[in-house]
Amino acid sequence: MAYNIRMGFGLGGRLDLDRIAAWVATRRPDVVLMNEVDRGWLLNGGHDDLARIARGLGMRYYFAPAADRLWGDALLTNLPVAAIGSTRLGRHGYPTGAQAQSIVLKIGDREVGVIDTHLQEPRGQAPEVAAIARRLAAGPLPSGALPSGALPSGPLPSGTAGAGPRPVIVAGDLNTTPSDPQMRVLEAAGLSDPLRALGDPPTSPADAPVRRIDHVLISDGLTAVAAEAPRVPYSDHLPLVVRLRLN
């Protein structure tokens, strides 16, 4: 699941953190990627969005600061995590900071790379994320990534020995529609947009969605078998729920 939660504020203007957690739990996701996660801004009463949602889901979480140490992106999962890091993206004249969180998940004896990001200036940042995706597919964490806690941070094998490049997912609010030039940049890095063939569900604005700026892009080695953008009122974006098969 990929979801820009707008700091937990729903369409009714109230803080919907517990409702988000309760709804996400009904979908039983293995991986949840969230953007616009607030961990204590006074704007929402000093709540820690991430800890509160994770507690409701019973999932581990990994936070990556973007604008500052209290606002950024996060991954929640109970799958084994082999490595995790964050690479700061260039501002390109945009006032809000952005990052690309790089995660290596273990699924059986296989590895899958995940990049969780929220592009603020897609024209300049899409090429940076494309480069990170190429490096993550090749094996080690991207240059500049910062290890989290005691998790291993050194070069990692590329998937199962002899299995070729590591499959990679790039997901989040990319502020890019499928027809924008930035999407061609990401596709050139070996990523494809499987949602085009699965209904191409719009995600923004949540109350009357007309365009898809939230994405789950995949590389070779993964197949999307189902996708939807459920009409829930917990943010100004709709979440993307995608079922993926590791080939």
**Which of 38-47, 53-62, 216-225 is predicted least confidently?**
38-47
> What is the model's pLDDT at position 67?
85
Instruction: Taking residues 29-41, report their average pLDDT.
Output: 94
Cα separation, 209 vs 67, in Å, equals 26
Cα separation, 109 vs 80, in Å, equals 11
Task: Provide the pLDDT confidence category of residue 150 given band limits of 50, 70 and 90.
Answer: very low
Angle at 105 between CA 217 and CA 243, to 5 degrees: 45
**Full DSSP string of 155-193:** ---SSSTTS-SPPEEEEEE-S--TTSHHHHHHHTTT-B-
pLDDT tens sequence across 90-144: 999 998 889 999 999 999 999 999 999 999 999 999 999 999 999 999 987 765 5
- What residues form DSSP beta bridges with 170? 115, 217
Q: What is the pTM of this model?
A: 0.91
pLDDT tens sequence across 161-205: 445 799 999 999 999 999 999 999 999 999 999 999 999 999 999
| Cα pseudo-dihedral 35, 128, 65, 14, rounded to 10 | -20
Q: Where are the domains of the chain?
A: 2-246
Which CATH number is associated with domain 2-246?
3.60.10.10
- C-beta contacts of 143-148 below 8 A and 24+ residues apart: 143/87, 144/85, 144/87, 144/88, 145/85, 145/86, 145/87, 145/102, 146/85, 146/86, 147/83, 147/84, 147/85, 148/62, 148/84, 148/85
Whether 200 and 211 have beta carbons less than 8 Å apart is answered as: no
Burial 41-53 (b: 16+ CB within 10 A, else e): eeebeebbbbebb
If you compute the radius of gyration of the chain from its CA atoms, what whole number of angstroms results? 17
